[in-house]
Structure 1
């Protein structure tokens, strides 16, 4: 009996020691991880100053709401160039036109990389086009896309004529609401995305194509999720991938659905492909892939094709769509501005003549309105994160190679040095005393440098033609007794919250 009790006691002591040992090991591991994280949070010598970070998570929590506004306010304290700690990742934030021009224009090559963030690695493996590392692979993919925009956009008929055809589908679809309230997001998104679809696939999709519409909605949701607090946390602590909850999980599920859809659609539109006679971007890419077969260093792959197509669709849809949605909202909000647009359209086009790109120079007020929408609404307030390709010196600060760089384009468009009363919506700031359109230096909605928006020319064409075709036919107004919120929905782009509008046929 005594032996049994002694044996039981020894067993309990052994289990207790094992448990204590395990706890000690776990505590030691946590302490080491904390020390490692705190060491990562130390600013390098000569690095720009910035707000004090919270241990471990850094300044991540400060970016939860309106990060672009937070960064501009911090620049008033720390200067136009300051740093943030994103959970162990040191980021340099550029604020104001002077700082951004110095880096993106005068040191263009240095500020042309993408940061190797866990989120980018997870989503695209740093391949594709938008998130690709700076180098030959990115250069070849950008050149291919640029050629496709020029050639396939004008294949068979000029691109502006194709856009005008889509404009007519668009205004006819609006007409079906017969002046009653409707949410314009669905129609605008489908119409704008069809221009990119013509280049990518050689076809447009009808507005009732549920599969494509669902894909665009998922894309739009991911644009929002990609800069959520969970995304920043994932970059700081990639191991949270194994947590069963969190918005980052929704982001990954959405991406998987989109990639599966794109794989199927690429397969469908590549049927009947004839080598050296490409019909659209997919054909051209697959021809490049075939020609580089056996080349181990080729940047072309089926995976990069999927990433590139997805990125070009969302980049070609999200920004222009949100610009037009903001433009519609502000025309209804400021009927006096809308009336001036109507007068200019009627004066230049007369009765029954459709707008064309040739009319653009004769419509300075329309140009001023569209530019003010882009400035005031800041569709892509922080651009796409960049990284330095080498050690560099900016304004006396040392910025090491591989440092993440955030360009606060919002601060450029609200830079008091270049804009008078920037918080007021005023198209007249883009007109001279004679009513002629004037370009402004501190206007960078498409960013600057080698990584500036590839589709800027296409986006400008779409904005002008969709806007003028719509305003020529309709007067926009809110349903009686309603005024929508002007607070933007936060994401990589700033989009208006859902609103209803009435498009009433004009009596010309």
Structure 2
């Protein structure tokens, strides 16, 4: 009988093992590199754009003053062009005509939100601002609009409470007794309290340290979310496991904010009577209870936290920055400040507080506020969007799911619609008789139905606090 023995395995030396591992690592890196380069290829019919750096694309071009860089690129490549943000193919819209064509005439096509790793990490694509276009988006937008209409601008009591907040603000300024100070803290608190009245039904005092800390974190996260590190994270989400980087600070801040909001929401929902909401939180909890058991509902306690956080940011950062820029330009242009002061004094005689009824009698004040919004570009790149289906724009083909950036800075400095756009000139919003004049190419918060919410918040705040 012949005995068959399996061949003996040759022992592998340490050097050979290292060589095999090195070859596998090189092969893996080559595969990842090829896959990344394939992702960075422009689809057929896609708009042209600046040449990308292999792997990282055009990310570093957006590190400093991205709105200025994008406007300069539009002068080379046209009003619509593309960027490569580390494999995330992006289309940039510049100029009023291009933005109007996409966001107004094709509003539903450009209504979606990009599925970016940062949005998935921070809000799981839920909440209000980053929610994907669909029933959940429509439901949350409707609730927010109704809440700001019902608990806010439609109530005479609300206008009186805004006037009271202005008095708190003025009293806080008086405490400095004419000494120089940074007004950011007080302006932020005052503006935020207007939104808080609708969200929670109450304001926070200026010495509430917990709320002050949260507002500072909100402000910091707004800056971090548009930083170079955030762009890198979207392109290469594996950097989440690196122990350093500004994205780690962003994530730590988010956890702290969500814990704080959960505590605040619980506190302000005490005493709630179902179907008799006192504020936005109560209204949301009513919707949550009514949709219990519906597997398709987007109303969840987690989305309530995200929505409240986004409304606070939307209602605080934009108006706060508008008022701070307005203070700066009043200081830089004392002749404009004098004209504003003269008009206010002529309307608000005998120390009467301002009200919406006085607004139409202050066209110059209105013009100054609009010029501040145009000139200072409070939200220069708007909110990132995505195409909900294949789109055709200016002869180019934009595939479904493409990220879209609207360069609002280019709209407000579009020489086709603005004479001498680089000059701060409130008179551009006045007609020959001195009446307020609406301008078509004025889009401080972009176009679209969700932006209606942001615009309601902002308009509700700044004319009164101004």
8 Å CA contact retained: 1:447, 1:453: no
Q: Do 2:148 and 2:456's aligned partners in 1 also have CA atoms closer than 8 Å?
A: no
Instruction: Report the equivalent of 2:5.
Output: none
* 1:287-342 deviation per Cα after TM superposition (whole angstroms, max 9, x unaligned): 11111111111111111000000000110110000000100111011100000001
CA gap 1:315/1:458 in 2 versus in 1, 3 angstroms: closer
- Matched with 1:6 is none
Match of 1:498 in 2: none
The answer on 1:289 being equivalent to 2:293 is: no
Alignment correspondent of 2:103? 104
Measure the CA separation in 2 of the matches of 1:373 and 1:268.
Answer: 38
Residue of structure 2 equivalent to 1:250: 249
Q: Once structures 1 and 2 are overlaid, which stretch shifts more, 117-126 or 426-435?
A: 426-435
Instruction: Name the CA distance, whole Å, in 2 between partners of 1:415 and 1:157.
Output: 39
Stretches of 4+ aligned residues off by more than 4 angstroms: 10-13, 154-157
2:213 is aligned to: 214
**Worse overlay, 427-436 or 255-264:** 427-436
CA distance in 2, matches of 1:375, 1:136: 33
Does 1:187 find its partner at 2:182?
Answer: no
Separation of aligned partners in 1, 2:450 and 2:270:
33
Matches within 5 A, 1:416-427: 416-427=415-426
Tell me the equivalent position of 2:311: 312
Q: Is 1:196 the counterpart of 2:207 in the alignment?
A: no
Alpha-carbon distance, 1:284 to partner: 1.1
Give distance in 2, aligned partners of 1:455 and 1:104: 16
Task: Check whether the contact 2:314–2:457 (CA below 8 A) recurs between aligned residues.
Answer: no
1:458-497, aligned counterparts within 5 Å? Answer: 458-467=457-466
| C-alpha distance in structure 1 between counterparts of 2:365 and 2:380, whole Å | 23
Please tell me whether the aligned partners of residues 160 and 461 of structure 1 are also in contact (alpha carbons under 8 angstroms). Answer: no
Cα distance in 2 for partners of 1:117, 1:171 equals 42
Which residue does 1:351 correspond to in 2? 350
What is the count of residue pairs matched by the alignment? 458
Partners of 2:181 and 2:348 lie apart in 1 by 28
Are 2:150 and 1:151 aligned? yes
Alignment pair present for 1:440 and 2:436: no
1:173 alignment counterpart: 172
Alpha-carbon shift at residue 182 of structure 1 (Å): 0.7
- Whether the aligned pair in 1 keeps the contact of 2:391 and 2:399 (CA below 8 Å) is yes
Instruction: Give the Cα–Cα distance (whole angstroms) in 2 for the partners of residues 69 and 282 of structure 1.
Output: 39
The equivalences for 1:47-66 within 5 A come to 47-66=46-65
SS in 2 for 1:123: helix
Aligned 1:18-33 pairs, distance under 5 A = 18-33=17-32
Q: In the superposition, relative to structure 1, how do residues 436 and 156 fare at CA in structure 2: closer, same or farther (>3 Å)?
A: closer
Deviation at 1:13, TM superposition (A): 5.8
Give the Cα–Cα distance (whole angstroms) in 1 for the partners of residues 151 and 417 of structure 2: 39
Residue 278 of structure 1 is matched in structure 2 by 277
Which secondary structure does the structure 1 equivalent of 2:13 belong to? helix
- Partner of residue 489, structure 1: none
Unaligned runs of 5+ in 1: 1-9, 468-508
**Could you tell me which residue of structure 2 aligns to residue 389 of structure 1?**
388
Q: Which deviates further from its counterpart, 343-352 or 319-328?
A: 343-352
Judge conservation of contact 1:319–1:380 (CA < 8 Å) in 2.
yes
Provide the C-alpha distance between the structure 2 equivalents of 1:31 and 1:451, rounded to a whole number of angstroms: 43
RMSD: 1.3
1:94 partner SS: strand
Report the equivalent of 2:378: 379
Deviations 1:412-457 (A, max 9, x none): 0000111111111110111112211111111000211223241313
Contact 1:109 1:450 (8 Å CA) reproduced: no
